Amino acid sequence: MDKLQRSIWVIPLFVIAVFSVLFGRLFYLQVLNFQELGSLSTSNSIRRIWSQPPRGRMIDKNGVVLVDNQALYTVKVIPSEFKKAKTDYLAWILEMDKSELAEKITKGAELNKFAALTVSRNLNARSIDRLSENLWQLPGVLIDTDNKRKYPESFHGAHIFGYSRPISKEQIEALDDDSYAPDDKIGFSGLEKYYEEWLRGEKGARYEMITPLGKFAGKYNSGKNDIPSVRGDDLYLALDGGLQELAEQLLKKTGKSGAVVAMDPSTGGILALASAPDYDLDTFNGSTDRKGWNDIITSPQKPLFNRTIQAVYPPGSIYKMILAMAALEEKKFDPDKKVLDSGVFMYGGRRFLSNEGKGHGWVDMRNAITVSSNVYFYNLIFHVGFDNWTKYGSMFGFGDKTGIDLTGERAGLLPSTKYYDKRYGKDKWTKGYLVSLAIGQGELGTTPVQLAAYAAAIANNGTLYQPHIVNGYRDAENGKYYPLTYEKKQLPVSASTFSLIKDGMIGVVQRGTGTLAKVPGINVAGKTGTAQNPHGKDHAWFIAFAPVENPKIAMAVLVENAGFGGSISAPIARELIKYYLQGREMPGSAPQKGVKASDNSLPAAESSDNDLPVIEPEKPLNSKEPATGAPPESNSGKQQQNDL
């Protein structure tokens, strides 16, 4: 009986104890810890994920899409929700380096720990499957979609198109633009950078329901609050994709560094712009190949260097037409008067040898351009004067940036009296500097794009256009096309002057130093140039335009360390003109005339003529001895004093 009574009392006590524990826990959860749980629930119930818009496309003059977008999978991490202890596990799934992943997450957290940060792009199928299966145990990790650029398969266009990359903290701070967030991409070079405002588009956003444990719980409000992204505006280029491909191929065949810039002389539109060496844009396009990046960045050949707008070299004899035009327009010299080119010009105690000292005999201005007589132009500059020489060089845009729609353009160098006074001191320099400047050497620096614009201005009788790659854009929101406007100026040079200059340049191609630029059935005008290089073999220039009667294409070609321009740069111009005007097929793998199948170069020159001077010192350069070899019945010494 006593035992039974004790059992009856024990059961109620046990029940009371159990309920007391449960009640206490409930009291703690509902009252004491209510604020903590409520805060957690509120902060994690909805999250916003930005969606990147497809960047605008790039379309060539023939309507061919050159740069497009391609969808890809990405993995994003929200640092505030991600557990650091899971870093190694996530790195294993993504087949990433652990330290690289940790570094990305840390840097992302420093910018905004609540924003989704892309840690891996362009995942392979194995990584996607593995991550999808294990996503439940990786809070703060998302699988998302994005876009990467799709480039032409047949050519690079690296220095034209450029590339975009994730924006840095420093860029965000420098831009002071609230529309950029840490995970956004921004144009870093080429058109991607120059036209960032047009190409970038507008971000979208989606809102997701998230459990207190960080698990996805569905779209917020059935997605009604989501904001769709707006793709970037399409750019319509002056570029001809086929011509660009050929320009890159021809430069590559030389096995040397160089540049090609081809323009439409009637608009200033860039038809082709190639710089060698270049690089594969896919290396910077969603790739995690750090070695590939480093190889490009540290290459001694500098493939990132855009030689079309950044290489500054003396133009050599290409610049002789500036001096000729100055002489004609300022009426300083009769173009029909002949000068004896004996192969030797004396000034300041030095002998300047032209054409290896052989000379060209009696030459007038037209023929002096055709045969590239140094002696003729040595004499001419003392008639024209330094200030007039500078005036006409400046008129054609030398010494200034052209304003092409690419970043990083250099202005080159156009010497003047003021420049030499500042550099060497007033009355501390002599007229001996003019001898080199007369034939485009010395302290004169030009870029390929400047020389292409110069060739185009001669071709069209004096309209200097601002070179440009983009003709206009199509607004992604309203679908309308908007043309872009560029500067142009009409130069105060007479038609008769241009006619004489063209005659001389036609002669260059027909019987002078540029015969390898001949195209059957097309009247081509051109001029060779050789830039002196104190560090190695000289650089080869060639400018050209065609057809002379109604110019459709003008260009400048530079091949570094190649010697004479007529031997290697002129054939490049020939092939480009032939393709653009006659629609010929591109040169295939079959050997060209004069080239072995195993040879990786263009045909050798038929002429070894070189327009560089050979200087034989006899007296100090600062000697006041007047020039010899001056034109008949002239007084070059007095003329120097008057015009300098």
Q: Check whether 331 has a pLDDT greater than 90.
A: yes
The CB density around residue 8, as the number of other CB atoms within 10 Å, is 8
pLDDT, one tens digit per residue, over 170-196 is: 888 888 777 888 778 899 999 999 999
Determine how many CB atoms are found less than 10 A away from the CB of residue 621: 15
pLDDT at 266 over 80: yes
Of the segments 33-37, 260-264, 633-637, which one has the largest average pLDDT value?
260-264
Q: Which of 103-107, 401-405, 612-616 has the lowest mean pLDDT?
A: 612-616
Show the domains of the chain with their CATH numbers: 46-237 (3.90.1310.10), 251-295+313-643 (3.40.710.10)
Question: What tens digit of pLDDT does each residue of 402-423 get?
Answer: 999 999 999 999 999 999 999 9
Most distant CA atoms of the chain, gap in Å: 153
> What does the pLDDT average to over 61-84?
91
DSSP strand pairing (185-187 vs 164-166) = antiparallel
Is-above-0.85 flag for pTM?
no
SS3 309: helix
The predicted structure's pLDDT at residue 606: 34
In this predicted structure, the answer to whether residue 396 has a pLDDT above a threshold of 60 is yes
pLDDT-above-70 percentage for the chain: 82
Instruction: Tell me the three state secondary structure of residue 156.
Output: coil
Q: Could you give the CA distance from residue 411 to residue 401 in angstroms, rounded to a whole number?
A: 4
Could you tell me the two tokens for 575? 């092939």
How much is the average pLDDT of 294-304?
A: 87
What's the CA gap between 76 and 183, in Å, rounded? 9
Task: Tell me the two tokens of residue 303.
Answer: 């493939």
Summarised one tens digit per residue, pLDDT across range 548-595 is: 999 999 999 999 988 776 789 999 999 999 999 998 665 543 333 333
Highest mean pLDDT among 3-7, 117-121, 287-291: 117-121
> CA 276, CA 262: separation in Å to the nearest integer?
15
pLDDT, residue 123, reads 79
Is the bond preceding residue 547 a cis peptide, omega within 30 degrees?
yes
Residue type present at position 36: E
CA 579 vs CA 63, 246, 636: distances in Å: 18, 8, 46
d(CA 67, CA 86): 38
455, 542 contact by CB (below 8 A): no
Q: Is 113's pLDDT higher than 70?
A: yes
HSE (side-chain half, CA atoms, 13 Å) at 402:
31
Residues 6+ apart with CB under 8 A from 250: 260, 572, 575, 576, 587, 602
